Amino acid sequence: MDLHMLLQSLPFIKAPEERYEIIGISNNHQKVEKGHLFICIKGYSFDGHEFAKEAVNNGAVAIVAERPLQLDVPVILVKDSKKAMAILADAFYQHPTQKMHLIGITGTNGKTTTSHLVDSIFKDANYSTGLIGTINIKIGNKVLETKNTTPDSLELQKVFYEMCAEKIDTGIMEVSSHALVQGRVNGCDYDVAVFTNLTQDHLDYHHTMEEYKRAKSLLFSKLGNTYSTKHPKFAVLNADEEVAELFAGETSAHIVTYGIEKAADFQAVSITYHSNGVIFTLLSPEGERKVHLPLAGEFNVYNALAAIATAYVSKVPFQSIIQSVEQAEGVPGRFELVNGGQKFAVIVDYAHTPDGLENVLRTIQQFADKRVFCVVGCGGDRDPSKRPLMAKIACKWATDPIFTSDNPRSEEPTAIIEDMERGVEGEQYIVEPDRKTAIERAIDLAEEGDVVLIAGKGHETYQIIGDKVHDFDDRLISLHAIQKK
Ligand SMILES: CC(=O)N[C@H]1[C@@H](OP(=O)(O)OP(=O)(O)OC[C@H]2O[C@@H](n3ccc(=O)[nH]c3=O)[C@H](O)[C@@H]2O)O[C@H](CO)[C@@H](O)[C@@H]1O[C@H](C)C(=O)N[C@@H](C)C(=O)N[C@H](CCC(=O)O)C(=O)O
Ligand SMILES: Nc1ncnc2c1ncn2[C@@H]1O[C@H](COP(=O)(O)OP(=O)(O)OP(=O)(O)O)[C@@H](O)[C@H]1O
Ligand SMILES: N[C@H](CCC[C@H](N)C(=O)O)C(=O)O
Ligand SMILES: [Mg+2]
């Protein structure tokens, strides 16, 4: 694309007089190829401006920067290069999200599960979908690995461009609070924005719940307020969450609600819980309907309601929605049962927040008749204030809590466990910092009728200790332990 044409998307920018053909955009100097535009981002760990020279050596023909740089190629100065990157990426990839139906899902817990439910509903109704989230990115049948739940604007718009090329009609994505604050989703033209819930997490980054709430609200405040040729827009909100009212007030989109406790457009009543699922009556604009959800736990009723409402406002036929929800498959690492022929249940679950852990343990309580083992740790370099809370919840709901490591990252594993122990004075628990040994211990101790919950890492196939990434999969390790037993 011609640089002049590309820069038209940024107002008040002085473009160089010469003409340059831009064949790609990069914000990492290692990914720069000949003919690229390099965007200097001042990040949390590095300052991209310091790599501008190397980017030029690697073939960059122009630079976008926040401060003047002495280089042999044109330097285009902007006030905020992260914001500029989102605008340029959207323009370079020809505004891909304006060409598809786009669904964004935010909230502390349930984004991955809800997005998978929405994805299968659309697929079952013969839509062609793209899915972006924690586990991976899917473009039709193609699967891409990803570092973040929500990629940066450059990667994101490129993925949407590829989706358009593959004739994907519906994009479904998880939108993290980090992404909202960092403008990774600027330029995304959402049709439906979905809110799951808000409970404590990420206070290391957002500092206060007020700030965290404000971050989440951005998905709704921006919905329907930007220029878009796609109408109508919908905000799908959890009526049982206090902040939903605030989000409703901030958007000009249509509001659709779902919930259990309060009256809502899509409400579940007469709920009965079983070990392998939930049966409820759905009250909806289409009338009353009994639903057999094959996923356990009240939290999955919320996820299913959010998915049903999202598909409904997207005009997927109601009959098809319900049929699909009733055949829902579990999401990897979410309440995933490990079966090695043993006489006790082993569940691997991605619960890594106080609310997530409490929900999953409460769900287990509904069917457990004997002991409940809970192997749990907390991630390093993440919100330390959730550590004592998660330990307390483990001791409240499990008969046999075992505190261990999650991904310690740069922190000392025993120091993280000490933080956890501050929440549980006088309680009975086992400490085993080595996660593999902790899992083996729980499985070794478990007897017929017991339940072993292995929480926190779900689908992850690695463990980060220091800056080393080791192969580690809770599901494989527990399966081997069962087989050894
Ligand atoms: C704290 C945080 O959010 N960091 C994110 C941020 O990185 P950053 O701005 O700090 O980038 P940086 O590493 O300082 O680099 C700055 C610039 O220099 C460039 N650079 C850097 C090094 C080099 O050798 N050459 C070079 O050109 C980089 O490409 C970049 O353009 O922007 C990057 C691109 O978007 C993200 O990958 C990165 O996520 C890190 C890996 C991370 O762990 N983030 C977590 C906290 C996160 O975002 N989590 C949420 C999910 C949370 C949830 O559960 O809800 C997520 O969406 O994943
Ligand atoms: N609606 C919900 N409310 C509360 N807890 C939930 C809900 N849905 C799932 N959980 C719990 O939270 C864990 C994570 O669920 P899921 O992966 O769907 O959330 P997420 O929002 O995508 O998380 P992340 O922010 O890490 O990507 C699950 O394993 C389960 O224990
Ligand atoms: N998206 C979350 C995932 C946490 C998963 C847990 N296993 C950990 O590493 O803390 C985060 O980055 O905070
Ligand atoms: Mg997720």
27 lines ligand 1 (CB under 6 A): yes
The predicted-structure confidence for 315-351, as pLDDT tens digits, reads as follows 999 999 999 999 999 899 999 999 999 999 999 999 9
Residue 224 CA, ligand 4 centroid: distance in Å = 24
Per CATH, the number for 96-325 is: 3.40.1190.10
The number of the ligand 2 atom at minimal distance from the alpha carbon of 201 is 25
Residue 229, number of CB atoms within 10 A of its CB: 8
> 310 a known binding residue?
no
Amino acid present at 61: V
Do residues 212 and 335 touch, judged by C-beta distance below 8 A?
no
**pLDDT score recorded for residue 211:** 81
- Which comes out higher in pLDDT, residue 20 or 233? 233
Do residues 299 and 107 touch, judged by C-beta distance below 8 A?
no
Closest protein CA for atom 16 of ligand 2: 110
The predicted-structure confidence for 126-148, as pLDDT tens digits, reads as follows 999 999 999 999 998 999 999 99
Closest protein CA for atom 34 of ligand 1: 152
Beta bridge partners of 465: 409, 468
> Measuring CA to CA, which residue among 107, 138, 101 is closest to residue 331?
138
Phi, psi (degrees; rounded to nearest 5) at 157: -65, -30
Q: CB burial class (10 A; 0-12, 13-18, 19+) of residue 230? A: middle
The predicted-structure confidence for 465-482, as pLDDT tens digits, reads as follows 999 999 999 999 999 999
Q: How many residues in the chain?
A: 485
Closest protein CA for atom 3 of ligand 1: 178
**pLDDT score recorded for residue 136:** 95
Q: Is 318 helix (H, G, I), strand (E, B) or coil?
A: helix
Contact partners, residue 308, CB within 8 Å, separation at least 6? 121, 258, 266, 282, 284, 321, 322, 325
Tally of CA atoms within 13 A in the half-sphere of 421 that contains its CB? 17
Pairing of strands 336-337, 345-349: antiparallel
Q: Which stretch of DSSP H or E encloses residue 373?
A: strand 372-376
The topology under which CATH files domain 3-90 is 3.40.1390
Phi, psi (degrees; rounded to nearest 5) at 14: -90, 115
Q: What residue ranges do the domains of the chain occupy?
A: 3-90, 96-325, 336-484
pLDDT confidence of 225, banded at 50, 70, 90?
low
Residue 27 CA, ligand 1 centroid: distance in Å = 11
Do residues 405 and 375 touch, judged by C-beta distance below 8 A?
no
Q: What mean pLDDT comes out for the span 366-384? A: 95
Residue 174 CA, ligand 4 centroid: distance in Å = 6
What is the token pair recorded at 225?
A: 């307020």
Rg (CA), the chain: 24
Per CATH, the number for 336-484 is: 3.90.190.20
What is the token pair recorded at 47?
A: 């300052």
Q: Is the peptide bond before 151 cis (omega within 30 degrees of 0)?
A: no
In angstroms, rounded to a whole number, what is the distance separating the alpha carbons of residues 424 and 420?
8
Beta bridge partners of 374: 401, 453
